[in-house]
Amino acid sequence: MSMAFDGPAFIRHVAERLVHEFQFSQGAGTPGLIGAAKEHPARVQLARLMPGGVGVGSGIVVDSYGGVSRQQDIVIFEDLCPVFTHNDAPEATYYPVEGVIAVGEVKSGLGQTELNDSIAKSASVKGLRRYVDSNEVGYSFRQYCSGTSFAGAPEEKYDQDDKSLDQVYSFVLCQRFTLSSQTMLKHVAEGARAAGVAMMPNLVASLESGTLYAFNSASHAVARSMKEGDGAISIEDSMAGFAHLLAMLRLYVMSGRTVDRKHYERYFRKIGAPGPPSVSISGHVSFSQ
């Protein structure tokens, strides 16, 4: 008789396996190769545990106003999202922000320098603008992976500035903290004051040293984003942090919102050019003759 499947135990096993793979990656040679060796298993495991309709890659996030993010170790995107790539090179692969659900950084050890780098990378994505047509009633929105848009009541309108589920989720996944959790919290607070809470990673998860969460002291609860909280807390159960990260990513895939998919067309034509480009006609023939 087969044993019952234990989902939470399986998630813990995945986290433990990532620890071993992170350790194994240290033998890859150069820092660049070590980084790639860490990022690959993380992308593979996340892809397997996400709902259908999404892809997991790496590269650069862009907006239709010309904004460009720094390179992201992990990009989780809806299948509707066009991907512009030069020979599948991560440093030359671009994802329109309208289709990006989450981005993440993968580190071995995380100290102040690595945390500040991750905050800067998070800010480079969260500062991008999804195109919103202010002439549309209710600022139409849709859920990720859906082709159908809705124009809701005023309180339901799409708002990437103030609604966490209308924003790109960002996270840091590392093997361990190289500083104490209390010191890491201090650096998170310094980073939030410098970059702005809206630009911060939503979660900083370590597989060995605990996890740093956004926290709302009024509700005494973990928040989805630093903007929804008024501080941050550390919890030492590392495996719980990885499970929480998976839960948040799945929540954003299933309940997060973006804009009408027609706005992808802004990446395929010059802005302000509604029709075919103006060209010099070199010849003409009439079908009526």
Percent of the chain with pLDDT over 90: 67
176 forms beta bridges with 109
Q: Is residue 175 one of the residues assigned to a domain?
A: yes
Q: Is residue 94 one of the residues assigned to a domain?
A: yes
Give the integer Cα–Cα distance in Å for 128 and 51: 25
Q: Which CA distances in Å does 205 have to 108, 235, 244?
A: 12, 10, 9
Give the closest residue to 256 by CA, choosing from 173, 165, 134, 135: 165
Give the integer Cα–Cα distance in Å for 281 and 271: 23
Q: Is residue 272 one of the residues assigned to a domain?
A: no
Give the integer Cα–Cα distance in Å for 114 and 15: 21
Q: Is residue 12 one of the residues assigned to a domain?
A: yes
User: Which tokens is 27 given?
Assistant: 């033998």
What is the per-residue pLDDT for 29?
61
Q: Is residue 152 one of the residues assigned to a domain?
A: yes
Q: Is residue 284 one of the residues assigned to a domain?
A: no
Give the integer Cα–Cα distance in Å for 224 and 46: 19
DSSP 8-state secondary structure symbol assigned to residue 150: B
Summarize the confidence of residues 187-209 as an average pLDDT: 96
The domain of 143 spans 8-131+138-209+237-261
User: Which tokens is 187 given?
Assistant: 């650096």
pTM of the model: 0.90
* Per-residue pLDDT at 274 exceeds 60: no
What is the per-residue pLDDT for 34?
63
Any idea what the Cα angle at residue 12 is, between residues 25 and 183, rounded to 5°? 70
More confident residue, 29 or 187: 187
Summarize the confidence of residues 12-34 as an average pLDDT: 75
Q: Is residue 227 one of the residues assigned to a domain?
A: no
- Count of domains in the chain? 1
Q: Is residue 184 one of the residues assigned to a domain?
A: yes
- Average pLDDT value over all residues in the chain: 89
Q: State whether residue 233 is helix, strand or coil.
A: strand
CA dihedral for 242, 247, 253, 257, sign (positive or negative): negative
Give the closest residue to 131 by CA, choosing from 117, 141, 123: 141
DSSP 8-state secondary structure symbol assigned to residue 42: H
What is the per-residue pLDDT for 33?
64
Consecutive H or E run containing 58: strand 54-62
Write the CB contacts of 230 (distance below 8 Å, at least 6 apart in sequence): 215, 216, 217, 218
Q: State whether residue 216 is helix, strand or coil.
A: strand
For 45-100, what is each residue's pLDDT tens digit? 999 999 999 999 999 999 999 999 999 999 999 999 999 999 988 889 999 999 99
